[in-house]
Amino acid sequence: MKNVKAYEKKTKKLLGAFGKKGPQELKDMDQAIPILIESILLENSTETKAKKALAAIDAEYLDFNDLRVSPAKEIHNCIGVDYPQSRAKSHMLADVLRAIFYKTSKVSLEYIIEMPKRERPRHLAELGLSSFAVSMIMLRVFGGRAVPVDQDLAYCLEMDQGVHPGTTLEQVAKFVEKLASSADCYGAYLASRKYIAKSAKALAKWKKARQAEIDKLEAIEQAKAEAAAKAKAEKEAKAKARAEAKAAKEKERAREQAKAERKKARDAKKAAENKVKKAAEKAAEKAAKKSGKKAVKKTAKKAVKKTAKKATSKPVKKAAKKATKKVVKKAVKKPAKKATKKTVKKVAKKPAKKTAKKTAKKTAKKTVKKTRGKKK
């Protein structure tokens, strides 16, 4: 906090003298739990309201153990729904009493006496107590150096310019505690409660004005946030529209391209089919021409052969017959003189017809060759 010395003078003037000496550590620890309950109820409230809430709890519950097992909702209804921070304090009260019972199996703070003094505030905070309630118990039960500071005191000091605007509750608590010595802590606490009670009306107006200012700032921030969100939404909508238009354009382009490709494929297919068809027709025509030529040649050859056969068959037959007769006559009438007896016997045994046939065939072949030679 800035300008600490200036604020110290101002705060001491606002709180007044810390005349009364603080209490020592309690000898009767049965009074510790009532002080704990009062510490919870007194934060950001008045002593009158706190005493009234304590009386309602005493009338409603048999003992502290009965209070411990009660639901927070019932405690909330008991102390009053209009009590400052009633719901939060009801839950804190129920949770702290249960935490104490889980530690010792009874609702008592006697076990904390055995702890080192520096460990006590930390342990009380671990039970679920607020910083105001921890300071109150340390001051009134264990006689420690602590000044309970709640949000109302912090607001009063800020309203009267006793602390720098925007100072946190923790910073104010440390600041006020430094103002008082160990002997003056209880006096500082009483002075702060008196100062809060004196400033109650002015504090209520200041809180209202402060809340209005906060609401105004929040409304401005909300309007800015909404405007920013709207601008962002519009920007996103435009970007989305552009993206959709681009996507539609790309889709149309792709569709046209696909259409062109399909047409190109159809044309290519048609051209290929026409090419194949023409090639097939050409091949068929060529094959037809070739087969026609072959047929003509074959027919011509057949005709030539037939004619040649007819022309040569008659002379050959006649010549063969004459040659056969001649050979037979020669073979019968003039046997070979030079042939040996063995040959004569073989010739005599074999029929004369076989020899005649062979000789006739040879003669016929020679005659055919000669005839073809003359024609050529």
Per-residue pLDDT reduced to its tens digit, 55-89? 999 999 999 999 999 999 999 999 999 999 999 99
Tokens of 226: 């909404």
Per-residue pLDDT reduced to its tens digit, 243-255? 999 999 999 999 9
In the predicted structure, residue 363 carries a pLDDT above the cut 80:
no
pLDDT at 277: 87
In the predicted structure, residue 337 carries a pLDDT above the cut 50:
no
Report if residue 124 sits inside a domain.
yes
In the block, tokens 């910073």 appear at 171
Report if residue 20 sits inside a domain.
yes
Q: How would residue 327 be classed by pLDDT, with cut points 50, 70 and 90? A: very low
Q: What's the whole-number mean pLDDT along residues 350-357? A: 56
Report if residue 345 sits inside a domain.
no
Report if residue 300 sits inside a domain.
no
Report if residue 234 sits inside a domain.
no
Query: Do 14 and 192 meet the contact criterion of CB atoms below 8 Å apart?
Result: no
End-to-end distance of the chain based on CA atoms, in angstroms? Answer: 144
In the block, tokens 């107006």 appear at 205
- For 49, 76, 130, the CA distances from 44, given in Å and listed in that order, are 10, 16, 12
Per-residue pLDDT reduced to its tens digit, 5-34? 888 888 888 888 776 666 677 888 889 999
CB burial of residue 222 (10 Å; 0-12, 13-18, 19+): exposed
Query: Do 163 and 11 meet the contact criterion of CB atoms below 8 Å apart?
Result: yes
Alpha carbon distance 70, 64 (integer Å): 10
Q: What's the whole-number mean pLDDT along residues 192-216? A: 91
Helices (DSSP H) in the chain: which residue ranges?
A: 4-15, 32-42, 47-60, 64-68, 72-79, 86-104, 119-127, 131-140, 151-159, 169-179, 185-198, 200-333, 341-349, 352-375
- Its domain, for residue 138, covers 4-206
pLDDT at 179: 87
Report if residue 302 sits inside a domain.
no
pLDDT at 73: 93
Per-residue pLDDT reduced to its tens digit, 276-287? 988 888 888 888
Q: What is the CATH number of the domain that holds 13?
A: 1.10.340.30
Nearest to 24 by CA among 137, 143, 111: 143
The mean pLDDT value of the chain amounts to: 83
In the predicted structure, residue 304 carries a pLDDT above the cut 60:
no
pLDDT above 70: percentage of residues in the chain: 78
Alpha carbon distance 184, 19 (integer Å): 7
pLDDT at 314: 53
More confident residue, 343 or 365: 365
Per-residue pLDDT reduced to its tens digit, 135-182? 999 999 998 889 999 999 999 999 999 999 888 999 999 999 888 887
Per-residue pLDDT reduced to its tens digit, 107-137? 999 999 999 999 999 999 999 999 999 999 9
pLDDT at 315: 53
Q: What's the whole-number mean pLDDT along residues 328-355? A: 49
Structure pTM? Answer: 0.60
pLDDT at 19: 67
- Number of separate domains in the chain: 1
- For 76, 246, 268, the CA distances from 254, given in Å and listed in that order, are 70, 12, 20
Q: What's the whole-number mean pLDDT along residues 314-338? A: 52
More confident residue, 46 or 294: 46
pLDDT at 362: 74
pLDDT at 332: 44
Query: Do 99 and 127 meet the contact criterion of CB atoms below 8 Å apart?
Result: yes
pLDDT at 236: 92
pLDDT at 5: 83
